[in-house]
Amino acid sequence: MQRSFMKMVEMRWAFAAFGAALLRLRRDRRGVTVIEYGIIAIIITLAIFGGLSRIGSELTVPFNQVSSEL
């Protein structure tokens, strides 16, 4: 009986520690800021690649004309 009581106390302590860790993570806002900056960087990168690929496809025809005339 004493052994099961000790296991119950250990489990309650483990759940309490887990809950405290979750609260600390929820209150810590530094990780959220890093994630937001990462998302902004990804969006900017995608916009740059999208713009460059469009410009590249539009410049293909003039460069091909110049190379064929040479």
**Sign of CA pseudo-dihedral 7, 10, 14, 19:** positive
pLDDT, residue 11, reads: 72
Q: Which residues touch 25 (CB under 8 Å, ≥6 apart)? A: 31
Rounded CA-CA distance 5/24 in Å is 29
pLDDT digits (tens, 9 = 90+) for 5-60: 666 667 777 778 888 877 876 777 776 777 888 899 999 999 998 888 888 778 88
- Per-domain residue ranges of the chain: 2-69
* Residues found in the chain: 70
